[in-house]
C-alpha cells in the first residue's frame, strides 16, 4: 500500500528524458510535437498562462482533472515561429521556447525574464520499467519534469504545509493522509494535496501547477541546488506555467484555472463552536446559552459524529437528539446555525436503507474482483461511495435532505482522504476500483487518490445547491486536491493543544492561501489534548483573524469553550471574538475580492511585498487583507516578540503608536492586546457589536482610518449576505481614498456601485490619532466633529450614500 512517507525520486528504473522531436501540427494557440513514443502539446491559454502536456503518441490529451474549473479560454493573440532548432509560441506577455533536439521547454516574459526552463540535461520524461510500458495500468510508469533553478529563485506554496513559508531546499510529498494525532512540522503531507509551487526570483513571481492526481513529489532544489523536480508515480505529465510577474497575478490566474472561492454566507464568517461531540440536545442547548449569557458572539454550533445513529451517515440518533428540527429551530431563534459532520464510510448493514440503496444503484468502490470494497471506520465495516461517478455525487447530495429538512445550515465533510482504520492510519489501497459510472471511466484508486476529498465536497456543495437553490452552500472539508476551494472551505484537521501547533497554524494557512485555498482555518484551542486558559486566549488572539473561526476539541479532553478557564482568559476570548464580529465588513470585503481574483484573505507579507526578501521567511506573522498585520504570541509566559513591519507607515491598533517600515521592532503584547497593526490611510470598515451575524443591521458603520502623510485607497463591499442577488448587481461597492498631509486629511467616499442599499442610518468616520482640527468640511459644508472612542476625531456622515468628500484642516 502506498504510504505517507517520503521516497527519493531518484530511485527506481532508468529515467529517459525526451530526445529529439519534430513539429506535428499546430493551431491558433497550441502546437504539438512528436518525440519518440510521446506527443507533447504546448498551449497558450491566456497571455500569462501556458499549458504543457506529454501523452503517449496517438493517445488523446486529457486536461480534465478534478482540479480544472475553466476549460474554455477566450481567444488570444498568439504568434508562432519555427526554425530547425526551435519553435516559439508567443502571447502579448510571454513566450514559450521549445528546443527540438532534445525537446526542452522554457518560458520568458517581455522583459526578458526566464522562468520554468527545462533542465538541459534531464528535461521531462518517464522512468522505464521492465514490467510495464510507460502508460500501462494500473499506474503506468513514473513521470518526471526537471526545471532549472533560476539565479536567486526561491520556492513557496505547496498547499497545507506547517513547516514555514519557504520551500527552497525541500522535498514535498503530495498524498492525502490522516496523520496520527500530534503531527509535527516534519510531516509534510497532511490531508490535502496541492501540487503547485510559486517561485520568486529577484522580486518577480511565477507559478507551476503539476496537475497529476496520483501520488506526486517535488524536489525543490534539495537533491541539486540547481534544479527542481516535479514527478508522479504514474499518469501523464500535465503542467501549467503562470507567468506573473507578481504573486497576485499568479494566484489570480491559478484560481481562474482551478476555481474561485465562492461567496460565503455571511453567517459563516462569524464565530463557531464545536466539540467531538456535544453528546445530546441538552448539552447543545447549554453551550448555546453559555454564549448568550456571557455575551460572547457565536453563529454556529457543530454536531460531531454522536448525533448519528451508530455513526450511520444521514441518520439521527433518536435518544440523543429526539427532535432535531425542534432543537435547530429553537437555536435559530437565538441566532445559531447548526452544521453536521458527514463521513464517507457507509455502514454495511442490511437494515440501513442508505447502504442498501447505494448498493442497489451500484455506487460503491470495488475490489479487483468486482466485490464491494470494505474497510472499517467509525461505524464498523463500511462501503465507500465512488465519488468519481456523477450519479453517486447526486445521490449523496440528495441524502443531505435529512439535514436540510431539519434546518441544518452546512455540511462538514470529514475523513475524506479517505481515512481508514485497517490497518490503523490507512487509506485506500492503490488497486481499489472507482468504476466511475460510465464505460471507460473506471480508475484505480492510485490514479485519483488525492481527489477523493474534493469529489466528496463537490457532492456536498452541489447537493446543498440542489436542495436550496437560493442559499449559498456552506461546506467544510478536511481533504481535497487543487481546486478544492471552489467546493468547500478547508479546515486543517487534527492539530493539538500545543504552543507549537499555534505557531504552525500561521505558515499552514499562508501556504494554503498562496495555493488557492483562501478560506481556511485551524481548530482554535487545539483539537488533541487539553488546552489551558493562556493557550486558548492566545489562540483566539490569532484565531479571530483567520478566514474561518472555529473552536474544536476531541473526545475526552477538557472543555474549551471560551469561558471555561475563567478570568482573565474569558474576557480576552470575549474581546477578541467581539473584535472579529466588528471586523466582519472588512473581512467580507476581502472575501468578495478573493471571490473575484483569488487574492488571499489571510496572506503572507510576501504577497504584498515580493520585492522585500525579508518577508520570504516572515512566517510567524501575516496580513489580513492589505491593511491589517497580525503578529501573534505563540509561547507561554511571553509578552514581547519581534515583529517585522514592511515598507509603509503602520499604527499599533491598541496603543495608536506609529511605526515607519521597513523596521524590525519589539512589540509589547500583553494578554488581550495582540500585536496588531493597521496600515496608514486605509479605511477599516467596522460594524456594531452583535451577538451573532445579522442580529442587527451594520449600523452605524465605522470607517476607521489612521492618517499619516501619503495616500491609500480601499474598498467596502456589501450585499445581502446570502443568496445570489449579487450576481445580478445587488451589491454595494464603494471606493474610499484617504490622502493625508501635514495640513489636511482628505477622505473621499466614492459613489456606491451596484443596486444593494444597506440598511443603516449612519456612517461614521473615525480618524485615529487626530485630536483636534481647525475645521471639518463635508462636501464643502462645515461639520462639527466629535472626539470619539480612543481619542479619535469622529465625523458623523449620516446616511451619506452618494459620493462624499470630507476635508479635515489641521
Ligand atoms: C476526525 C476529525 C475531527 C472530528 C473527529 C470525529 O478526527 O478531524 O475534527 O472531531 O474525526 O468526528
Q: What is the DSSP string of 795-806?
A: EE--S--S-EEE
Q: How far is the CA of 491 from the centre of ligand 1 (A)?
A: 11
Number of alpha carbons in the 13 Å side-chain half-sphere of residue 27 = 5
Separation of CA 293 from chain center: 33
Specify the pLDDT at position 440.
84
Crossing angle between the packed helical segments 353-360 and 390-399, to the nearest 10 degrees: 160
- The grid coordinates of residue 279 equal 453528546
Task: Select from 183, 276, 493 the residue to mutate for testing ligand 1; criterion: most ligand atoms less than 8 Å from CB.
Answer: 276
In angstroms, the CA 381 to CA 383 distance is: 7
Confirm whether 48 is a catalytic residue.
Answer: no
In angstroms, the CA 439 to CA 40 distance is: 27
Q: What is the end-to-end Cα distance of the chain in Å, rounded?
A: 72
Q: Reduced to 3 states, what is the DSSP secondary structure of residue 537? A: helix
Atom of ligand 1 nearest to the CA of 527: 9
Separation of CA 347 from chain center: 31
Looking at 494, 608, 619, 718, which residue is catalytic?
494
Residue 98, ligand 1, Cβ within 6 A: no
Q: Reduced to 3 states, what is the DSSP secondary structure of residue 203? A: coil
Residue 278, ligand 1, Cβ within 6 A: no
In angstroms, the CA 643 to CA 651 distance is: 13
Specify the pLDDT at position 790.
64
Q: How far is the CA of 552 from the centre of ligand 1 (A)?
A: 9
Separation of CA 511 from chain center: 9
Residue 493, ligand 1, Cβ within 6 A: yes
- The grid coordinates of residue 246 equal 507578481
In angstroms, the CA 722 to CA 267 distance is: 9
In angstroms, the CA 677 to CA 180 distance is: 37
Nearest CA to ligand 1 atom 12: 305
In angstroms, the CA 449 to CA 213 distance is: 7
Under a CB-based contact definition with an 8 Å cutoff, are residues 688 and 658 in contact?
no
| Beta carbons within 10 angstroms of residue 150's beta carbon | 18
Nearest CA to ligand 1 atom 7: 494
In angstroms, the CA 154 to CA 603 distance is: 18
Stated pTM of the model: 0.97
Atom of ligand 1 nearest to the CA of 343: 12
Specify the pLDDT at position 9.
44
Specify the pLDDT at position 3.
33
Under a CB-based contact definition with an 8 Å cutoff, are residues 378 and 345 in contact?
yes
- In the numeric block, the cell 529515467 is attached to 15
Q: State the alpha helices, DSSP H only, in 400-514.
A: 401-404, 445-448, 452-467, 499-514
Q: Reduced to 3 states, what is the DSSP secondary structure of residue 145? A: strand
Separation of CA 23 from chain center: 40
Q: How far is the CA of 528 from the centre of ligand 1 (A)?
A: 10
Residue 313, ligand 1, Cβ within 6 A: no
Q: State the alpha helices, DSSP H only, in 275-323.
A: 281-293
Under a CB-based contact definition with an 8 Å cutoff, are residues 439 and 691 in contact?
no
Residue 305, ligand 1, Cβ within 6 A: yes
Q: Is 56 exposed, middle or buried (0-12, 13-18, 19+ CB in 10 A)?
A: middle
Length of the chain: 810
Q: How far is the CA of 415 from the centre of ligand 1 (A)?
A: 8
Confirm whether 178 is a catalytic residue.
Answer: no
The β-bridge relationship of strands 550-551 and 523-524 is: parallel
Confirm whether 417 is a catalytic residue.
Answer: yes
In angstroms, the CA 478 to CA 707 distance is: 42
Q: How far is the CA of 132 from the centre of ligand 1 (A)?
A: 40
Q: How far is the CA of 277 from the centre of ligand 1 (A)?
A: 9
Residue among 354, 435, 449 nearest 391 (CA): 435
Residue 341, ligand 1, Cβ within 6 A: yes
| 755-777: b (≥16 Cβ within 10 Å) or e | ebebebeebbbbbbbbeebeebb
Residue 256, ligand 1, Cβ within 6 A: no
Q: Reduced to 3 states, what is the DSSP secondary structure of residue 251? A: helix
Q: Reduced to 3 states, what is the DSSP secondary structure of residue 270? A: coil
Specify the pLDDT at position 132.
47
Q: How far is the CA of 276 from the centre of ligand 1 (A)?
A: 7
| Successive 10-residue mean pLDDT values, the chain, 810 residues | 37 83 96 95 98 89 95 96 96 98 97 97 86 49 95 98 97 97 92 98 98 97 97 94 98 98 98 98 98 98 98 98 98 98 98 98 96 98 98 98 98 98 96 92 94 98 98 98 98 98 98 98 98 98 98 98 98 98 98 98 98 98 98 98 98 97 98 98 98 95 97 98 98 98 96 95 94 93 80 87 93
Nearest CA to ligand 1 atom 5: 276
- The grid coordinates of residue 638 equal 511571553
Give the DSSP letter of residue 451. G
Q: How far is the CA of 500 from the centre of ligand 1 (A)?
A: 20
Looking at 233, 417, 534, 620, which residue is catalytic?
417
Separation of CA 393 from chain center: 23
In angstroms, the CA 541 to CA 525 distance is: 11
Q: How far is the CA of 414 from the centre of ligand 1 (A)?
A: 7
Ordered strands of the 622-624 beta sheet: 602-603, 622-624, 628-631, 675-679, 640-652, 658-668
Q: How far is the CA of 591 from the centre of ligand 1 (A)?
A: 27
Atom of ligand 1 nearest to the CA of 494: 8
Nearest CA to ligand 1 atom 10: 276
Q: How far is the CA of 396 from the centre of ligand 1 (A)?
A: 20
* CA dihedral over 647, 648, 652, 656, signed as positive or negative: positive
Q: Reduced to 3 states, what is the DSSP secondary structure of residue 747? A: strand
Under a CB-based contact definition with an 8 Å cutoff, are residues 189 and 417 in contact?
no
Q: How far is the CA of 399 from the centre of ligand 1 (A)?
A: 21
CA distances from 773 to 653, 655, 711 (A): 22, 21, 19
Q: How far is the CA of 363 from the centre of ligand 1 (A)?
A: 25
Residue 491, ligand 1, Cβ within 6 A: no
Task: Select from 176, 177, 341, 525 the residue to mutate for testing ligand 1; criterion: most ligand atoms less than 8 Å from CB.
Answer: 341
Looking at 119, 281, 414, 807, which residue is catalytic?
414
Specify the pLDDT at position 138.
52
CA distances from 441 to 391, 392, 444, 448 (A): 13, 14, 10, 12
Atom of ligand 1 nearest to the CA of 554: 10
CA distances from 725 to 260, 588, 589, 593, 753 (A): 18, 16, 16, 17, 14
Specify the pLDDT at position 788.
60
What Rg, from alpha-carbon coordinates, does the chain have? 27
Q: Reduced to 3 states, what is the DSSP secondary structure of residue 509? A: helix
Residue 304, ligand 1, Cβ within 6 A: yes
Give me the phi and psi of 375, to 5 degrees please. -155, 175
Angle at 206 between CA 202 and CA 212, to 5 degrees: 145
Atom of ligand 1 nearest to the CA of 341: 12
Residue 276, ligand 1, Cβ within 6 A: yes
Q: Is the peptide bond before 418 cis (omega within 30 degrees of 0)?
A: yes
Nearest CA to ligand 1 atom 4: 276
The β-bridge relationship of strands 622-624 and 602-603 is: antiparallel
Specify the pLDDT at position 800.
73
Residue among 662, 659, 671, 664 nearest 633 (CA): 671
Residue among 129, 155, 153, 130 nearest 143 (CA): 129
Specify the pLDDT at position 137.
52
Atom of ligand 1 nearest to the CA of 523: 9
Q: Reduced to 3 states, what is the DSSP secondary structure of residue 287? A: helix
Residue among 375, 366, 316, 370 nearest 348 (CA): 375
* CA dihedral over 529, 531, 532, 535, signed as positive or negative: positive
Task: Select from 554, 555, 556 the residue to mutate for testing ligand 1; criterion: most ligand atoms less than 8 Å from CB.
Answer: 554
Task: Select from 312, 377, 414, 493 the residue to mutate for testing ligand 1; criterion: most ligand atoms less than 8 Å from CB.
Answer: 414
Q: Reduced to 3 states, what is the DSSP secondary structure of residue 53? A: strand
Atom of ligand 1 nearest to the CA of 493: 8
| 539-551: b (≥16 Cβ within 10 Å) or e | bbbbbbbbbbbbb
Atom of ligand 1 nearest to the CA of 478: 8
Under a CB-based contact definition with an 8 Å cutoff, are residues 602 and 546 in contact?
yes
Residue among 702, 703, 695, 700 nearest 721 (CA): 695
Atom of ligand 1 nearest to the CA of 276: 10
Specify the pLDDT at position 728.
98
Separation of CA 797 from chain center: 37
Atom of ligand 1 nearest to the CA of 415: 1
Task: Select from 413, 494, 529, 560 the residue to mutate for testing ligand 1; criterion: most ligand atoms less than 8 Å from CB.
Answer: 494
Atom of ligand 1 nearest to the CA of 304: 12
361: left (phi > 0), else alpha (psi -120 to 50), else beta?
A: alpha
Q: How far is the CA of 554 from the centre of ligand 1 (A)?
A: 7
Amino acid at each position: 500500500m502506498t504510504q505517507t512517507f517520503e521516497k527519493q525520486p531518484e530511485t527506481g528504473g532508468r529515467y529517459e528524458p525526451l530526445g529529439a522531436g519534430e513539429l506535428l501540427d499546430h493551431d491558433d494557440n497550441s502546437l504539438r510535437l512528436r518525440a519518440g513514443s510521446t506527443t507533447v502539446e504546448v498551449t497558450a491559454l491566456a497571455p500569462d498562462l501556458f499549458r504543457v502536456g506529454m501523452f503517449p503518441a496517438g493517445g488523446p490529451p486529457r486536461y480534465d482533472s478534478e482540479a480544472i474549473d475553466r476549460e474554455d479560454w477566450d481567444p488570444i493573440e498568439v504568434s508562432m515561429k519555427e526554425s530547425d532548432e526551435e519553435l516559439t509560441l508567443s502571447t502579448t506577455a510571454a513566450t514559450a521556447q521549445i528546443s527540438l533536439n532534445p525537446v526542452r521547454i522554457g518560458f520568458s516574459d517581455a522583459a526578458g525574464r526566464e522562468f520554468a526552463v527545462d533542465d538541459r540535461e534531464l528535461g521531462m520524461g518517464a522512468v522505464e520499467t521492465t514490467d510495464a510500458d510507460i502508460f500501462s495500468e494500473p499506474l503506468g510508469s513514473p513521470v518526471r519534469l526537471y526545471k532549472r533553478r533560476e539565479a536567486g529563485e526561491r520556492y513557496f506554496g505547496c498547499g497545507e504545509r506547517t513547516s514555514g513559508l519557504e520551500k527552497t531546499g525541500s522535498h514535498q510529498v503530495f498524498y492525502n493522509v490522516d496523520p496520527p494525532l500530534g503531527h509535527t512540522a516534519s510531516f509534510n503531507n497532511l490531508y490535502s494535496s496541492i501540487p503547485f509551487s510559486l517561485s520568486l526570483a529577484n522580486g518577480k513571481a511565477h507559478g507551476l501547477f503539476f496537475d497529476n492526481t496520483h501520488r506526486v513529489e517535488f524536489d525543490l532544489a534539495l537533491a541539486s541546488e540547481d534544479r527542481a523536480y516535479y514527478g508522479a508515480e504514474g499518469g501523464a505529465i500535465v503542467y501549467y506555467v503562470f507567468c506573473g510577474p507578481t504573486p497576485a497575478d499568479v494566484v489570480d490566474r491559478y484560481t481562474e484555472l482551478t476555481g474561485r472561492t465562492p461567496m460565503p454566507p455571511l453567517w459563516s464568517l462569524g464565530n463557531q463552536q464545536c466539540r467531538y461531540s456535544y453528546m445530546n440536545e441538552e448539552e447543545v442547548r447549554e453551550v448555546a446559552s453559555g454564549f448568550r449569557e456571557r455575551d460572547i458572539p457565536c453563529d454556529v454550533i457543530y454536531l460531531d459524529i454522536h448525533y448519528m445513529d451508530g455513526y450511520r451517515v444521514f441518520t439521527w440518533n433518536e435518544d440523543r437528539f429526539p427532535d432535531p428540527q425542534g432543537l435547530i429551530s429553537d437555536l435559530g431563534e437565538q441566532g445559531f446555525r447548526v452544521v453536521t459532520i458527514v463521513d464517507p464510510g457507509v455502514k454495511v448493514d442490511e437494515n440501513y436503507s442508505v447502504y442498501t440503496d447505494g448498493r442497489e444503484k451500484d455506487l460503491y468502490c470495488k475490489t479487483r474482483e468486482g466485490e464491494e470494497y470494505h474497510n472499517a471506520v467509525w461505524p464498523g465495516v463500511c462501503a465507500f461511495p465512488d465519488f468519481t461517478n456523477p450519479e453517486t455525487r447526486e445521490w449523496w447530495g440528495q441524502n443531505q435532505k435529512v439535514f436540510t429538512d431539519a434546518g441544518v445550515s452546512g455540511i462538514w465533510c470529514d475523513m475524506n482522504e479517505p481515512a481508514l482504520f485497517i490497518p490503523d492510519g490507512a487509506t485506500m489501497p492503490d488497486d481499489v476500483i472507482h468504476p466511475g459510472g460510465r464505460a471507460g471511466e473506471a480508475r484505480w484508486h492510485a490514479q485519483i487518490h488525492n481527489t477523493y476529498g474534493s469529489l466528496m465536497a463537490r457532492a456536498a456543495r452541489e447537493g446543498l445547491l440542489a436542495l436550496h437553490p437560493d442559499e449559498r452552500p456552506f461546506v467544510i472539508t478536511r481533504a481535497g486536491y487543487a481546486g478544492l476551494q471552489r467546493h468547500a472551505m478547508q479546515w486543517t484537521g487534527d492539530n493539538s493543544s500545543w504552543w507549537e501547533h499555534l505557531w504552525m497554524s500561521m505558515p499552514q494557512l499562508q501556504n494554503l492561501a498562496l495555493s488557492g485555498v483562501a478560506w481556511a482555518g485551524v481548530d482554535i484551542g487545539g483539537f488533541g489534548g487539553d488546552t489551558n486558559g493562556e493557550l486558548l486566549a492566545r489562540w483566539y488572539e490569532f484565531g479571530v483573524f483567520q478566514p474561518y473561526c472555529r473552536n474544536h476539541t476531541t473526545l475526552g479532553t477538557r472543555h474549551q469553550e471560551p469561558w471555561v478557564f475563567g478570568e482573565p482568559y474569558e474576557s480576552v476570548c470575549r474581546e477578541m471574538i467581539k473584535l472579529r464580529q466588528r471586523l466582519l465588513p472588512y473581512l467580507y470585503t476581502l472575501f468578495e475580492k478573493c471571490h473575484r481574483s483569488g487574492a488571499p484573505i489571510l496572506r503572507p507579507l510576501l504577497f504584498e511585498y515580493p520585492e522585500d526578501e525579508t518577508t520570504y521567511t516572515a512566517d510567524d506573522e501575516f496580513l489580513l487583507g492589505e491593511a491589517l498585520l497580525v503578529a501573534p504570541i505563540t509561547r507561554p509566559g511571553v509578552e514581547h516578540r519581534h515583529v517585522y513591519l514592511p515598507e509603509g507607515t503602520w499604527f499599533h491598533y491598541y496603543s495608536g503608536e506609529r511605526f515607519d517600515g521597513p523596521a524590525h521592532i519589539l512589540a509589547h503584547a500583553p494578554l488581550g492586546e495582540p500585536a496588531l497593526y493597521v496600515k496608514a490611510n486605509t479605511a477599516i470598515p467596522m460594524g456594531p457589536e452583535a451577538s451573532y451575524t445579522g442580529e442587527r443591521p451594520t449600523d452605524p458603520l465605522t470607517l476607521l482610518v489612521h492618517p499619516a502623510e501619503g495616500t491609500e485607497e480601499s474598498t467596502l463591499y456589501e450585499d445581502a449576505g446570502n443568496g445570489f442577488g449579487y450576481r445580478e448587481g445587488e451589491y454595494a461597492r464603494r471606493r474610499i481614498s484617504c490622502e493625508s498631509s501635514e495640513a489636511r486629511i482628505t477622505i473621499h467616499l466614492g459613489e456606491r456601485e451596484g443596486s444593494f442599499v444597506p440598511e443603516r442610518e449612519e456612517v461614521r468616520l473615525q480618524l485615529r490619532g487626530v485630536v483636534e482640527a481647525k475645521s471639518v468640511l463635508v462636501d464643502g459644508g462645515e461639520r462639527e466633529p466629535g472626539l470619539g472612542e480612543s481619542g479619535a476625531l469622529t465625523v458623523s456622515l449620516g446616511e451619506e450614500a452618494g459620493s462624499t468628500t470630507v476635508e479635515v484642516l489641521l
